[in-house]
Amino acid sequence: MTAIGAILRSLILGPERESGRGPESSGSAAPELPSNRVIYAIGDVHGRADCLHRLIQLIQADIKASAAIEPLLVLLGDYVDRGDQSNAVVELCADIASLWDHEAVFLRGNHEDAMLTFLSDPVGGAAWLRFGGLSTLMSYGVPNVAETMPEGRLKEASATLARNLPDHHRSFLESTRLTHMEGNVYFCHAGVDPGVDVGNQSPRTLMWGDGADTPGRDYPHIVVHGHVVVDEPVVRNREINVDTGAYFSGHLTCVRIADRSIAFLQT
């Protein structure tokens, strides 16, 4: 095994892999993809540009070690909030070509949805400040903000954010998608309502998780998502969850999906 391969093997599933623990697992999920396709899906970044940069480096090393022919990078949303590097994360994503020269897909999480709402309707979107928005405002240089502010101050903060937000950052946020699907693998931020066909899932379910539940073993798709923080990546029936709380744990997780293969890389 090459040195790079040994490093990646030790990193699969994160540091606890060395003590014999793998992901929480129940049942099996069998991806069906073309033999030349390898998908790397990254969980919630939440303002940790340092973790995202390191994880992309690990993915690039894995591509070289495995000779993946058609790699795809999928980010599952929640780039902003909580961590203090939201500005840097959005810059990295908006200029992904500087680090990544393959195909990339960016999905929208509830935190991007809330940020865009605050930009267009600061009073109606004021709740964003109470679940992570303050750190994003500060990363974009918006001064004197608090979780609770009067209407006039909310409007002032929104206007300042709009002025300080680079055009390519706003274009990136507005271009994010709700879903992506390849073969029998379905990617979204928060999960699905298993009683509803994937083509009819509501944006609220996909971004915020309202109505989301664990797909059973007979569900026609493997659902890959983040949004719900877990200690270790979860593979359960037809569901894969890769939100390992990077903003406080430092462990940003990526699931590596190929035909009939699931593995994990983690910072």
Q: Residue 235: inside a domain, yes or no? A: yes
Which CATH number is 63's domain given? 3.60.21.10
Domain-ending residue, one of 133, 166, 199: 166
Tell me: do 96 and 186 sit in the same domain.
yes
- pTM beyond 0.75: the answer is yes
Q: Identify the band that residue 68 occupies on the pLDDT scale cut at 50, 70 and 90.
A: confident
Q: Residue 148: give the domain boundaries.
A: 110-166
Is it the case that residue 26 has pLDDT exceeding 80? no
Is the distance from CB of 212 to CB of 191 less than 8 angstroms? yes
Q: Identify the band that residue 99 occupies on the pLDDT scale cut at 50, 70 and 90.
A: confident
What is the distance between the alpha carbons of residues 55 and 264, in angstroms, rounded to a whole number?
11
**Residue 251: per-residue pLDDT:** 98
Is it the case that residue 6 has pLDDT exceeding 60? no
Portion of the chain with pLDDT greater than 90, in percent: 83
Tell me: do 159 and 131 sit in the same domain.
yes
